[in-house]
Amino acid sequence: MPKFLAKDATVTIGFGSYVDGTTITTFAAATSIVATAKSFSLVRSANTENVSAIGDSFEQTMPVSFQGNVNAEFYVTGAPIFEGKIGYAVKFTLDVDGAGVSTSISVVGVVTDQTLSLNPESTQSESVTVKLGVAGLAGWTI
Protein backbone atom coordinates (compact mmCIF):
# COMPACT_ATOMS: atom_id res chain seq x y z
CA MET A 1 0.00 0.00 0.00
CA PRO A 2 1.44 3.42 -0.91
CA LYS A 3 2.26 5.80 1.90
CA PHE A 4 1.50 9.50 2.00
CA LEU A 5 4.67 11.53 1.73
CA ALA A 6 3.56 14.20 4.19
CA LYS A 7 2.66 11.55 6.77
CA ASP A 8 5.68 9.30 6.49
CA ALA A 9 8.63 11.26 5.05
CA THR A 10 10.87 13.69 6.83
CA VAL A 11 13.73 15.69 5.40
CA THR A 12 16.77 16.69 7.42
CA ILE A 13 18.15 19.92 5.98
CA GLY A 14 21.69 21.12 6.70
CA PHE A 15 23.04 24.39 5.35
CA GLY A 16 26.62 25.10 4.36
CA SER A 17 28.21 28.39 3.43
CA TYR A 18 27.51 30.57 0.39
CA VAL A 19 28.75 28.82 -2.77
CA ASP A 20 31.68 30.80 -4.17
CA GLY A 21 33.77 28.01 -5.72
CA THR A 22 35.80 27.09 -2.65
CA THR A 23 35.39 23.49 -1.48
CA ILE A 24 32.65 22.89 1.08
CA THR A 25 32.97 19.63 2.98
CA THR A 26 30.89 20.19 6.11
CA PHE A 27 27.37 21.29 6.83
CA ALA A 28 26.55 23.04 10.08
CA ALA A 29 24.84 20.65 12.49
CA ALA A 30 23.57 23.66 14.40
CA THR A 31 21.46 24.63 11.39
CA SER A 32 20.09 21.14 10.71
CA ILE A 33 16.33 21.23 10.49
CA VAL A 34 13.89 18.33 10.33
CA ALA A 35 10.87 19.25 8.19
CA THR A 36 7.80 17.51 6.84
CA ALA A 37 7.77 17.40 3.07
CA LYS A 38 4.57 18.14 1.20
CA SER A 39 6.33 16.98 -1.98
CA PHE A 40 9.87 15.98 -2.90
CA SER A 41 11.12 15.36 -6.44
CA LEU A 42 14.68 14.24 -7.18
CA VAL A 43 15.86 14.13 -10.80
CA ARG A 44 19.33 12.91 -11.76
CA SER A 45 20.59 12.42 -15.30
CA ALA A 46 23.74 11.85 -17.33
CA ASN A 47 25.03 13.98 -20.18
CA THR A 48 26.37 11.71 -22.91
CA GLU A 49 28.73 12.04 -25.83
CA ASN A 50 28.45 10.09 -29.07
CA VAL A 51 31.69 8.07 -29.44
CA SER A 52 30.67 5.99 -32.44
CA ALA A 53 33.25 5.03 -35.04
CA ILE A 54 32.55 5.14 -38.77
CA GLY A 55 32.01 1.37 -39.01
CA ASP A 56 29.72 1.01 -35.96
CA SER A 57 26.24 -0.40 -36.66
CA PHE A 58 24.74 1.20 -33.54
CA GLU A 59 25.34 4.50 -31.85
CA GLN A 60 27.88 4.26 -29.07
CA THR A 61 27.46 6.70 -26.19
CA MET A 62 29.47 7.40 -23.07
CA PRO A 63 28.46 9.41 -20.00
CA VAL A 64 30.65 12.48 -19.63
CA SER A 65 29.00 14.33 -16.75
CA PHE A 66 26.05 14.15 -14.40
CA GLN A 67 23.45 16.67 -13.32
CA GLY A 68 20.31 16.85 -11.27
CA ASN A 69 17.96 18.92 -9.19
CA VAL A 70 15.55 18.68 -6.30
CA ASN A 71 12.16 20.35 -6.29
CA ALA A 72 10.61 20.19 -2.85
CA GLU A 73 7.70 21.74 -1.01
CA PHE A 74 7.52 21.92 2.78
CA TYR A 75 4.77 22.82 5.19
CA VAL A 76 5.49 26.12 6.96
CA THR A 77 5.07 25.64 10.70
CA GLY A 78 7.30 28.50 11.86
CA ALA A 79 9.85 30.72 10.17
CA PRO A 80 10.48 29.92 6.49
CA ILE A 81 13.37 27.47 6.12
CA PHE A 82 14.97 28.84 2.95
CA GLU A 83 14.46 32.57 3.44
CA GLY A 84 17.78 34.27 2.63
CA LYS A 85 19.41 31.00 1.53
CA ILE A 86 19.56 31.54 -2.26
CA GLY A 87 23.11 30.60 -3.34
CA TYR A 88 23.87 28.60 -0.18
CA ALA A 89 24.94 24.97 -0.06
CA VAL A 90 22.32 22.60 1.27
CA LYS A 91 22.26 18.91 2.11
CA PHE A 92 18.96 17.03 2.06
CA THR A 93 18.57 13.66 3.74
CA LEU A 94 15.14 12.28 2.83
CA ASP A 95 13.83 9.52 5.09
CA VAL A 96 11.26 8.01 2.74
CA ASP A 97 9.14 6.10 5.25
CA GLY A 98 10.50 6.87 8.71
CA ALA A 99 12.59 3.66 8.87
CA GLY A 100 15.90 5.52 9.05
CA VAL A 101 19.16 4.94 7.19
CA SER A 102 17.98 1.94 5.13
CA THR A 103 15.44 4.08 3.29
CA SER A 104 17.29 7.41 3.30
CA ILE A 105 18.49 9.36 0.27
CA SER A 106 21.09 12.14 0.68
CA VAL A 107 21.91 14.81 -1.89
CA VAL A 108 24.00 17.97 -1.83
CA GLY A 109 23.51 21.08 -3.96
CA VAL A 110 22.92 24.81 -4.00
CA VAL A 111 19.62 26.62 -3.41
CA THR A 112 18.61 28.33 -6.68
CA ASP A 113 14.92 29.22 -6.16
CA GLN A 114 12.59 29.75 -3.23
CA THR A 115 8.84 30.40 -3.21
CA LEU A 116 6.82 31.16 -0.11
CA SER A 117 3.07 30.60 -0.33
CA LEU A 118 1.12 32.24 2.48
CA ASN A 119 -2.56 32.19 1.60
CA PRO A 120 -5.22 32.57 4.28
CA GLU A 121 -7.48 29.97 2.63
CA SER A 122 -4.92 27.19 2.15
CA THR A 123 -2.01 25.36 3.76
CA GLN A 124 1.06 27.54 4.21
CA SER A 125 4.00 26.13 2.25
CA GLU A 126 7.48 26.88 0.98
CA SER A 127 8.92 25.55 -2.29
CA VAL A 128 12.59 25.26 -3.12
CA THR A 129 14.72 24.23 -6.09
CA VAL A 130 18.21 22.89 -5.45
CA LYS A 131 20.74 22.36 -8.26
CA LEU A 132 22.92 19.28 -7.76
CA GLY A 133 26.45 18.84 -9.08
CA VAL A 134 27.74 22.32 -8.27
CA ALA A 135 31.48 23.13 -8.36
CA GLY A 136 33.05 23.23 -4.90
CA LEU A 137 30.57 20.89 -3.23
CA ALA A 138 32.31 17.74 -2.05
CA GLY A 139 30.56 14.45 -1.44
CA TRP A 140 27.80 14.50 -4.05
CA THR A 141 27.59 11.24 -5.94
CA ILE A 142 25.19 10.26 -8.66
Domain boundaries, the chain: 5-47+65-132
Report pLDDT for 127: 92
β-strand partners of 47: 65
**pLDDT, tens only, 99-131:** 665 667 888 888 999 999 888 887 888 999 999
| 5-47+65-132: CATH number | 2.40.10.10
Q: Which residues of the chain carry a pLDDT beneath 70?
A: 1-9, 24-32, 97-103, 137-142
Q: What angle do CA 98, 101, 103 make, to 5 degrees?
A: 60
Scored b (16 or more CB within 10 A) or e, 113-134 reads ebeeeeeeeeeebbbbbbbbbb
Q: Give pLDDT, residue 107.
A: 83
Rounded to a whole number of angstroms, the distance between the first and last alpha carbons of the chain is 29
Output DSSP code: residue 30: G
Q: How far apart are CA 130 and CA 86, in angstroms?
A: 9
pLDDT of residue 98: 63
Tell me what pLDDT residue 128 has: 94
Specify the pLDDT at position 92.
Answer: 83
Q: What's residue 142's pLDDT?
A: 35
What pLDDT, on the 0 to 100 scale, is given for residue 7? Answer: 56
**Residue type for 80, please?**
P
